[in-house]
Amino acid sequence: MAYLAGFGHYLPARVVTNAEIGARVDSDPAWILSVSGIEERRFAADESLVDLAVKAGEAALASAGVVAAELEMVMVATGTSPRNFPGPAVSVAERLGATPAAAIDLPMASAGSLFGLALAARLARGPILVIGAEKMSGVVEREPLEKGVAILFGDGAGACVVHPSRGRLRVIDSEICSDGAFAEDLKLEQGQPLLMNGRSVILQASRKIPAVISAVLTRNELSATDVPVFLMHQANQNLIDRVAQTLGIDSTRFFSNIRRYGNTSSASMLIAASEWFAADDSPPLTPVVFAAFGAGFNWGALLTETHA
Cα separations in angstroms, 31 against 27, 89, 168: 7, 38, 40
pLDDT at 209: 98
Domains of the chain listed by start with CATH number: 3-163 (3.40.47.10), 169-306 (3.40.47.10)
Q: How confident is the model at residue 282 (pLDDT cuts 50, 70, 90)?
A: low
Residue 95 has pLDDT above 80, yes or no: yes
| Residues 189-243 pLDDT 10s | 988 889 999 999 999 999 999 999 999 999 999 999 999 999 999 999 999 999 9
Q: How confident is the model at residue 81 (pLDDT cuts 50, 70, 90)?
A: very high
Element (H, E) at 237: helix 237-247
Average pLDDT over residues 275-279: 92
Burial class (CB in 10 A: 0-12, 13-18, 19+), 184: exposed
Q: What is the mean pLDDT of the chain?
A: 96
pLDDT at 105: 98
Q: How far apart are the first and last CA of the chain?
A: 15
| Residues 28-45 pLDDT 10s | 999 999 999 999 999 999
Q: Which of 293, 291, 301, 302 is nearest to 108 (CA)?
A: 293
Q: How confident is the model at residue 141 (pLDDT cuts 50, 70, 90)?
A: confident
Other CB atoms within 10 Å distance of the CB of residue 100: 7
Percent of all residues in the chain with a pLDDT value above 70, rounded to a whole number: 98
Omega before residue 287 within 30° of 0, cis: no
Q: How confident is the model at residue 284 (pLDDT cuts 50, 70, 90)?
A: low
| Residues 102-125 pLDDT 10s | 999 999 999 999 999 999 999 999
pLDDT at 148: 87
Stated pTM of the model? 0.97
CA distance 291 to 269: 8
